[in-house]
Each structure stands twice: as structure tokens, then as C-alpha cells.
Amino acid sequence: MTIAWWCAFGLVAAVHLVACARGPERWRVATKPLLMPALLGVYVTGAPEVFAPLVVAIVAAWIGDVLLLWGDRRLVWGGVAFFVCHVCYIGTFLRDVRTVPGWAWASLVPYALVTGVLVVRLRPGLGARAQTVSLYLATLGTLGVIAFLRWAHLGTVPAALAWLGTLAFLVSDHVLMFDRFRRRLRRGNLVLMATYLAAQALIVGSFATAGR
């Protein structure tokens, strides 16, 4: 059953990405709300243990996907939904973080630098949203650090895949922020969705295949 859900996700994702690149727009709009339900199917049928915060994260991402179909008119509420998604992922990862090697804490430095640089570059276009966007990006960076610490503790392939998923999330959300608040990027939506879908598939798939 899990394989069937993976096939459904792959098919919908492929159609969606082609629509992002070449159109038609109605295909992009029609397929976007189907992406996260397919991944939820992957998780609940494949995971040895279904963890509630991970389910909430996937549902919150689906809500964010739908809200962002309205573009900038629903950007704030879409951001709130993805903030909830990131917080739930953090909670999911934290349950596995216990003893962490000292060297792993060095990951704080690059994440802090990347977040700080992006906030500085975006600030001229943020206006009243500066604090909200900074909080969102800090949460995204925290997600990456926690995922890295989890991999350093567990040392498993699924944990490494989940961390790689957070890196893809970092790229995806940075493209989104730059595209919205700095300047429009050529093929920005295609890059955004390709990295976003990779992020979700890596994170959710890592739990569906091994429960860790």
C-alpha cells in the first residue's frame, strides 16, 4: 500500500512540476492540494509508529499549500501554517536527540550565518513584516540544527535523509522569501516547489521507511 502512495505522490508531483515550468496554470492549481495527502498516505501506511506531531506537520503543510494558491493575499496565513509545520517537525526530531557529540554543535554557526545574511538582504523589502519573517527564518534554521543533531546522535541513514530534507526546506523557503521580498526570480516557483517536494519526501519518507 505504501508503494501505491509513493507512486501517487510521484505522479502528482511530476505533473505539478511540469505545470510550474510549462503550464497550464489550472494543472498547477489542481495538483498542489493533492501533494501532501499523498505523502500522508505514505507515512500512515509505511511507518512502524505513527507520531501525532508528524501528522500535524503534514496537515499544516497541506493547509499552507492551499492558502498560498491565493498568492500574496494569503501569504501571512500560509506562513503561519508552515511555521506550525516546522515546529511539529522540530518536536518530532527532538524525541530522538539525547547524547550529542560536541563537534555537532558547530552546526549552529553556518545556520546562524545563513539566516542572518538572508534577513539582512531581505530587510529593505520586509517593512512591518521584518520581525515575523526573522522569527520564521530562525525557526527554519533551528529545524536544520535539530535535524543535524539528531543525525549525529542516531547515525542512521533515515536520520541523514531527514536532515537533507531540512536542507532542501532551507533552500525552498529562502527562494520563496527572496522571490517575494527582494526580486522575482526566473523559474522561481519551479525551484521553490522542486526543493519543497524533495524536502517533504525526504523527511516523511525517512520515517515511513524506518520509523526513525
pLDDT above 90 covers what percent of the chain?
56
Average pLDDT of the chain, as a whole number: 89
The pLDDT of residue 212 is 43
- pLDDT exceeds 70 at position 199: yes
Task: Give yes or no for residue 30 having a pLDDT over 50.
Answer: yes
As a whole number, mean pLDDT of residues 96-113 equals: 82
pTM of the model: 0.89
Is the CB of residue 144 less than 8 Å from the CB of residue 114?
Answer: no
Higher pLDDT among residues 185 and 148, named by residue: 148
Sorting pLDDT into bands at 50, 70 and 90, what band is 211?
very low
Listed in sequence order, the residues at least 6 apart from 85 whose beta carbon sits closer than 8 Å to its beta carbon are 57, 58, 60, 61, 64
Q: What is the pLDDT of residue 97?
A: 85
Give the list of residues 6+ apart from residue 29 with CB closer than 8 angstroms, or none. 69
pLDDT of 72 above 70: no
Range 187-196 average pLDDT: 88
Q: What is the mean pLDDT of residues 162-176?
A: 92
pLDDT band at 129 (very low <50, low <70, confident <90, very high): confident
